[in-house]
Amino acid sequence: MFALSPLAQAVQFVYSEPEVITAQPVAEAGLEPPLRLSQAISAPGTWTRPQPQTGSAPPGDEYGLRPSRRIDVPDEGLPRPSQPEVPTEAETDSPGPSPVAPRPEADSRNREQASPRVSWVIPPIRWGGTQGYSLQRSSASGGASTVSQSLFSSFNAASYIYAPWAATVSGRFGMTTSTSRSSAGGNSGVGGGQDNQNRSSNLVGGGDLNVFPTSRFPFQAYFDRSDSRASGNLVSNDYVNTRVGLRQTYRGEDGVTSAGGQIDHSVVKSNNGNDDTLTALSGNFATDIGIVKNSFNGRYSLGERSGSGERARLIGLNTAHNANLDDNLNLSGSFNYLDNAIRSGNGLGSSADSRTRFILLSGFGTWMPEFEDTDQLPLTLSGSLRYSTMRNSFGGFGIDTQSVGANVNALYRFSNNLTTGVNAAVNQVSTAGSPTIFLTMLGANVNYVGNPLMFGNFSYNWNAGGNGNWQSASGEIPSSYFVGLQVGHSVGRFLALSERETLSVSLSQSVSANQNQSVGNSTSLTHSAAASYGLRWGEQITGASTLTLSDILTSGASALHYRMLNLGFNGMAQLSPLSSANVNLQFNWNQQSTDNQQAFGFPTISDRSEHMTLLGSASYTHTKFLGYRGLRYSLLFTADTRLRDERLLGNINGEIDRARWTLANRFDYRIGLLDFRLNLAVNDVGGKKNALLFFQVTRQIGAF
């Protein structure tokens, strides 16, 4: 006989109700030994004193402990194990210590532990944050300047819900407080500039929720609120951008079915009081039904600007269906719907509203007869059907137009040099308020391409062709014909300057003569030149540059002179283990002069237009600038002189300021938990030059 130790008695007193303990040993009573102190501290509060065992217990469950991150399956309706019957003293033949009967309270606790429940634990949380100070000075070419100081702090955290594969969540929260002083510029005398001071505070932050991120049907919800004063970017007016969105995608187990939907809402509030609001919805679905491949796409966007009054509402729907009925027969069809309503910012209100609604139904098919040798007799037949309706309205006046048409084409290749084709088309065009027009067109073409001729290291090619069309129309529109002939030739050479450099050049010339019964005769002479230079220096440097020149001179009924220059650079270079450069730039220049002859003795009208565009970017990065460890330098040049208002037209990621070009020099330096940033930037917005000097220091908190 032995007694429990004082420590075991204390643990037993804490986790059980008072009861009479017999003098027989615990092992003889069929009980589990009491918990040690370490087990008692780690055991859950619902632990009860173990009851007599009637079989083997599940592994790891001797003390009522349950594994975390596990969902128990409900067991209603399942047979429960029967409780062991305890014999009475009258049923026993020999006297002896009787087993301890289970208490009703303990039996109730055991049933609660056996009942279904969800075991949740607090997952690990990655957290961190930043605190910082920024100073920036911006100036415009007109003399206006702004100096502002900002204090900002943010807290970031990321974790998951239940398990990383179930849902991940992250959040950001911060505050920005800034003081700015602006000057309108001008002289200090009469009409001079005026200083304005402003102090403001903004809450920034956001969050992301990803449900089943690695599954076939991930869902994402996000929210973001950012302040341009803490970004260090050069903007014409400081702003706060608030964006919220939902995204859901789906991919079927068969691999051919997919779907997705997204909604984005963005509000940009500038410090000049103007708001820019954009809401965009998009969705897509694709699946195969038998041999038919189907795809559906839809988009809706609404952009509004309070300051200028601009507004654009765009709706687009399209479907595509394609079926390969046989190896030599293919059918396809499509449906397109477009509804655009745009209001310009000219101050005229609804009188300047324009709206376009367009519907197009089309079908297309190709057929090629089965031949034993398709290289000798490749005949291809194709045809299409289409129906379209369009309504254009401006300032309350609208024009409705409907069109129905069909065409058939046949292409026959006699050899690798000679091809010919014929086509036929019928169209019916109806315009509100005008008689219906029925058009019939027949045409044919023939083309011959000579075999390349080699003259030393030069390759010479020539080609010739002709085409003719006849058109008949109903009503007062007379029938007309068109005949054209073209002849051209080109010469080119490819040079391997070295093992790393290549150069190819080509010159071409063509002449065409056209006779149009309804317009008149014209002759065109075209000259063009092209050059391409390629460089490959191992795996460190690869790139290419292209140059294209064209000159088209047309005389006769539609006289014009068109000139074009295109220059492109693209490539990448790993200059050293610590520095790299990338470039992708395209420059285009074109000029067109027209001389349109007028009827009834009116003088000739001359017009001249010129356009230049620069698009792309170039960058240089060094991660250990001037030999200082932790000092990073980057030079970035971006350009887009097309000045397309992508944000108003539905691009949620479009630039707030439409800068023609931007040149930024950025220095980043890290020492310990401190980050220093210096940015010097210059840009061009609407023909006005702007400059920015930005300095920022931040301290990291935590590890995220």
Residue (of 124, 128, 125, 126) closest to 702 by Cα position: 128
Contact 561/554 with Cβ under 8 angstroms?
Answer: yes
- What are the phi and psi torsion angles at 688 (to 5°)? -105, 130
pLDDT-derived band at 701 (thresholds 50, 70, 90) equals confident
Tokens of 592: 């067109």
pLDDT-derived band at 242 (thresholds 50, 70, 90) equals very high
- How far apart CA 523 and CA 512 sit, in angstroms, is 6
Q: Residue ranges of the domains in the chain?
A: 1-50+105-116
- The answer on pLDDT for 618 being more than 80 is yes
Instruction: Look up residue 463 and give its amino acid.
Output: N
Tokens of 311: 């507004």
Segment 642-664 shows an average pLDDT of 82
Phi-psi region of 8 (alpha: psi -120 to 50; beta: other; left: phi over 0): alpha
Q: 110 in helix, strand or coil? A: helix
User: Which tens digit of pLDDT belongs to each residue from 399-453?
Assistant: 899 999 999 999 998 888 999 999 999 999 988 878 888 999 999 999 999 999 9
**Greater confidence, 163 or 565?**
565
Within 10 angstroms of residue 121's Cβ, the number of other Cβ atoms is 10
Tokens of 574: 């790993």
Instruction: Look up residue 181 and give its amino acid.
Output: R
Contact 473/439 with Cβ under 8 angstroms?
Answer: yes
Residue (of 569, 549, 505) closest to 531 by Cα position: 505
CB burial readout 475-502, b (16+ within 10 A) else e: eeeeeeebebebebebbbeeeeeeeeeb
- The answer on pLDDT for 52 being more than 60 is no
Taking the whole predicted model, whether its pTM rises above 0.85 is answered as no
- How far apart CA 427 and CA 465 sit, in angstroms, is 27
For tokens 């944050």, name the residue: 129
CB burial readout 322-337, b (16+ within 10 A) else e: bbeeeeeebbbbbeee
CB burial readout 262-283, b (16+ within 10 A) else e: bebbbbbbbbeeeebbbbbbbb
- How far apart CA 445 and CA 457 sit, in angstroms, is 34
CA-to-CA separations, 61 to 14, 22, 57, 66, 257, in angstroms, rounded: 20, 26, 7, 7, 45
pLDDT at position 27: 42
Longest Cα–Cα distance of the chain, Å, equals 139
pLDDT at position 657: 76
**What percent of the chain is predicted at pLDDT more than 70?**
77
Q: Please give the full DSSP string across 406-428, using - where no structure is assigned.
A: EEEEEEEESSSSEEEEEEEEEEE
CA-to-CA separations, 114 to 21, 71, 122, 494, in angstroms, rounded: 27, 13, 23, 82
- How far apart CA 362 and CA 296 sit, in angstroms, is 15
Tokens of 460: 């010479």
Segment 87-102 shows an average pLDDT of 46
Contact 249/213 with Cβ under 8 angstroms?
Answer: no
Measured in whole angstroms, how far is the alpha carbon of residue 250 from the centre of its chain?
A: 17
User: Which tens digit of pLDDT belongs to each residue from 251-309?
Assistant: 998 889 999 999 999 999 887 778 889 999 999 999 999 899 999 999 999 999 887 88
Residue 13 parent element (H or E): helix 6-15
Least confident piece of the model among 375-379, 466-470, 542-546: 375-379
- How far apart CA 448 and CA 22 sit, in angstroms, is 113
The contacts found for 35-38 with CB under 8 angstroms, 24 or more apart, are: 35/11, 35/63, 36/11, 37/7, 37/11
Residue (of 107, 100, 112) closest to 45 by Cα position: 112
- How far apart CA 444 and CA 469 sit, in angstroms, is 7
Residue (of 100, 89, 134, 125) closest to 21 by Cα position: 100
User: Which tens digit of pLDDT belongs to each residue from 169-192?
Assistant: 999 998 888 888 888 765 444 344
User: Which residues have CB under 8 Å from 12's CB, separation 6+?
Assistant: 4, 34, 49
Within 10 angstroms of residue 522's Cβ, the number of other Cβ atoms is 18
Q: Please give the full DSSP string across 561-574, using - where no structure is assigned.
A: EEEEEEEEEEEEEE
Segment 69-80 shows an average pLDDT of 42
CA-to-CA separations, 692 to 135, 141, 232, 239, 473, in angstroms, rounded: 11, 12, 9, 16, 63
Q: Locate all alpha helices (DSSP H) within 484-545, ordered by sequence.
A: none
- How far apart CA 231 and CA 240 sit, in angstroms, is 11
User: Which tens digit of pLDDT belongs to each residue from 387-396?
Assistant: 999 999 887 7
Measured in whole angstroms, how far is the alpha carbon of residue 646 from the centre of its chain?
A: 13
User: Which tens digit of pLDDT belongs to each residue from 330-368?
Assistant: 999 999 999 999 988 765 556 578 899 999 999 999 998
pLDDT at position 376: 59
CA-to-CA separations, 312 to 233, 242, 336, 355, 666, in angstroms, rounded: 27, 20, 20, 10, 36
Strand runs labelled E in 395-519: 397-413, 418-431, 437-449, 453-455, 458-473, 480-495, 501-516
Residue 153 parent element (H or E): strand 145-161
Classify residue 190 as exposed, middle or buried by CB count within 10 Å of its CB (0-12, 13-18, 19+). Answer: exposed
Contact 141/689 with Cβ under 8 angstroms?
Answer: yes
Strand partners, 326: 329
